[in-house]
């Protein structure tokens, strides 16, 4: 069940993708997602390394994933990361023969030619219809439309998954995958009903046992309730959805008061995390929460779907639970469609 263009193009069992997660998406997690039947994806800088070492760090994680699975493995390339090291990064991805590259945060046009010539499938993450049409024209194989519910950096248009997905489905011919707010079989089936042919999940995999983020961060995700997250950094010109904590509530309050200097001071006040070379202040706050479990002194990205994550499970279990629930819903819908309405039965 659920075989479609996405599973065929990517050579995977279930149309479930692991979204790129900056410092969170390690090689073990990618392998576990792929072994569970989805597409495992190595993130942009797992665990964090200084910019000069980042590409070799990603290479190590891709190799680790390859050691642990024979199934397809992808890598995420946030396009704003394509700095002076762009050529080196592209060569590395080709040398390592990743099966898929998921780009985000920019135009995929600069990479489609080279990567597709190397036989690598391309997926691009969009947050509005115009970007989806441009991504299709650039030659990507699949678009992921990511709604405002998602964890991490959001598109400026603040479109929800529920509205964005059918609009993108109507606008392009290539397969569409929905992301943002999906963590169970109900979300999966909702995405399918909207015309998507797959889902991309971040937060649900963040709390998976193979993910290398700190146990305290995973437990905070599991404990979180309905209003699990806050949107921060609007006044700094970006939208960053993070887990709600005392620290991030302060960030949110500063946004509302337009207290730019106070917010910059708060971000800069986060204690350094690594001796020697430290991440930039914005990454440092993420590092403290995600890698050190210091929830009191930083901002950890997570989506609204954190409230739907009830237990730390293996990535394979996350996928199996989504599929089992989705199949049950599909059967129920089938039974409902074939059942005669009560009044028809009475009349007979």
Ligand X SMILES: Cc1cc2nc3c(=O)[nH]c(=O)nc-3n(C[C@H](O)[C@H](O)[C@H](O)COP(=O)(O)O)c2cc1C
Binder of ligand X out of 31, 44, 143, 172 (CB under 6 A): 44
Longest Cα pair distance anywhere in the chain, in angstroms? 81
User: Which one, 9 or 125, has the nearer CB to ligand X?
Assistant: 125
Q: Could you tell me the strand order of the sheet in which 121-126 lies?
A: 16-18, 199-201, 176-179, 142-146, 121-126, 100-104, 73-78, 40-42
Structure tokens at 339: 């059942």
The three-point CA angle 231-323-163 to 5° equals 40
Tell me: does residue 251 bind ligand X (CB under 6 A): no
Tell me: does residue 150 bind ligand X (CB under 6 A): yes
User: Which one, 9 or 153, has the nearer CB to ligand X?
Assistant: 153
User: Which one, 37 or 152, has the nearer CB to ligand X?
Assistant: 152
Residue 64 near residue 31 (C-beta atoms within 8 A): yes
Tell me: does residue 305 bind ligand X (CB under 6 A): yes
Which ranges constitute the DSSP H helices of the chain? 5-10, 27-35, 51-68, 86-95, 109-117, 129-138, 161-171, 185-193, 203-206, 215-223, 246-256, 260-268, 281-290, 315-338, 342-347
Q: Considering the complex, what minimum distance in angstroms separates the CB of residue 203 from ligand X?
A: 4
Size of the site for ligand X (CB under 6 A): 30
DSSP 246-284: HHHHHHHHHHHTT-HHHHHHHHHTSPP-SSSS---HHHH
User: Which one, 27 or 78, has the nearer CB to ligand X?
Assistant: 78
Give the separation between CA 224 and CA 23, rounded to whole angstroms: 21
Tell me: does residue 19 bind ligand X (CB under 6 A): yes
Query: Candidates 1-9, 61-69, 149-157, 315-323 — which segment interacts with ligand X by CB under 6 A?
Result: 149-157
Using CA of residue 142, residue 143, residue 149, residue 155, what is the dihedral sign? positive
User: Which one, 37 or 303, has the nearer CB to ligand X?
Assistant: 303
Q: Considering the complex, what minimum distance in angstroms separates the CB of residue 341 from ligand X?
A: 37
Binder of ligand X out of 78, 108, 155, 298 (CB under 6 A): 78
Q: Which of residues 165-204 bind ligand X (CB under 6 A)?
A: 179-182, 200-204
User: Which one, 111 or 339, has the nearer CB to ligand X?
Assistant: 111
Tell me: does residue 24 bind ligand X (CB under 6 A): yes
Binder of ligand X out of 31, 142, 206, 307 (CB under 6 A): 206
Q: Considering the complex, what minimum distance in angstroms separates the CB of residue 241 from ligand X?
A: 8
Structure tokens at 51: 């910019």
Q: Could you tell me the strand order of the sheet in which 240-243 lies?
A: 152-153, 240-243, 229-232
Of 127, 302, 300, 324, nearest to 205 by C-alpha is 302
Tell me: does residue 22 bind ligand X (CB under 6 A): yes
Query: Candidates 29-37, 251-259, 301-309, 315-323 — which segment interacts with ligand X by CB under 6 A?
Result: 301-309
User: Which one, 270 or 341, has the nearer CB to ligand X?
Assistant: 270
Q: Considering the complex, what minimum distance in angstroms separates the CB of residue 146 from ligand X?
A: 5
Residue 253: Cβ-neighbour burial (10 angstroms; 0-12, 13-18, 19+) = middle
User: Which one, 86 or 259, has the nearer CB to ligand X?
Assistant: 86
Q: Considering the complex, what minimum distance in angstroms separates the CB of residue 130 from ligand X?
A: 18
Of 230, 17, 242, nearest to 142 by C-alpha is 17
Q: Considering the complex, what minimum distance in angstroms separates the CB of residue 336 from ligand X?
A: 28
Tell me: does residue 111 bind ligand X (CB under 6 A): no
The residue ranges that bind ligand X (CB under 6 A) are 19-22, 24, 43-44, 76, 78, 104, 125, 146, 149-152, 179-182, 200-204, 206, 301-303, 305
């Amino acid at each position: 069940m659920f075989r479609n263009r996405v599973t065929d193009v990517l050579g995977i069992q279930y149309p479930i993708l692991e979204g790129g997660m900056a410092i969170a998406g390690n090689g073990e997690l990618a392998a576990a997602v792929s072994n569970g039947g989805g597409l495992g994806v190595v993130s942009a800088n797992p665990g964090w390394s200084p910019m000069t070492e980042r590409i070799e760090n990603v290479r190590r994680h891709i190799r680790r994933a390859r050691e642990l699975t024979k199934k397809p493995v992808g890598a995420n390339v946030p396009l704003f990361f394509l700095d002076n090291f762009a050529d080196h990064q592209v060569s590395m991805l080709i040398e390592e023969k990743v099966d898929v590259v998921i780009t985000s945060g920019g135009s995929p046009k600069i990479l489609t030619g080279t990567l597709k010539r190397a036989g690598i499938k391309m997926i691009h993450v969009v947050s509005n219809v115009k970007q989806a049409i441009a991504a299709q024209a650039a030659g990507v194989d699949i678009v992921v439309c990511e709604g405002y519910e998602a964890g991490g950096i959001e598109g400026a248009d603040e479109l929800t998954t529920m509205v964005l997905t059918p609009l993108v489905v109507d606008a392009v011919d290539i397969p569409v995958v929905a992301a943002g707010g999906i963590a169970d079989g109900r979300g999966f089936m909702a995405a399918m009903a909207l015309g998507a042919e797959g889902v991309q999940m971040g937060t649900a995999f963040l709390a998976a046992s193979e993910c290398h983020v700190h146990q305290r961060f995973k437990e905070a995700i599991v404990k979180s309730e309905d209003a699990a997250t806050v949107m921060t950094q609007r006044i700094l010109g970006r939208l960053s959805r993070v887990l709600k904590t005392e620290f991030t509530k302060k960030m949110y309050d500063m946004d509302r008061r337009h207290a730019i200097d106070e917010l910059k001071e708060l971000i800069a006040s986060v204690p350094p995390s690594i001796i020697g070379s430290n991440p930039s202040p914005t990454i440092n706050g993420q590092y403290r929460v995600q890698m050190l479990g210091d929830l009191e002194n930083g901002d950890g990205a997570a989506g609204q779907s954190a409230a739907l994550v009830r237990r730390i499970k293996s990535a394979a279990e996350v996928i199996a639970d989504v599929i089992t629930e989705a199949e049950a819903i599909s059967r129920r819908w089938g039974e409902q469609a074939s059942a005669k309405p009560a009044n028809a039965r009475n009349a007979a």
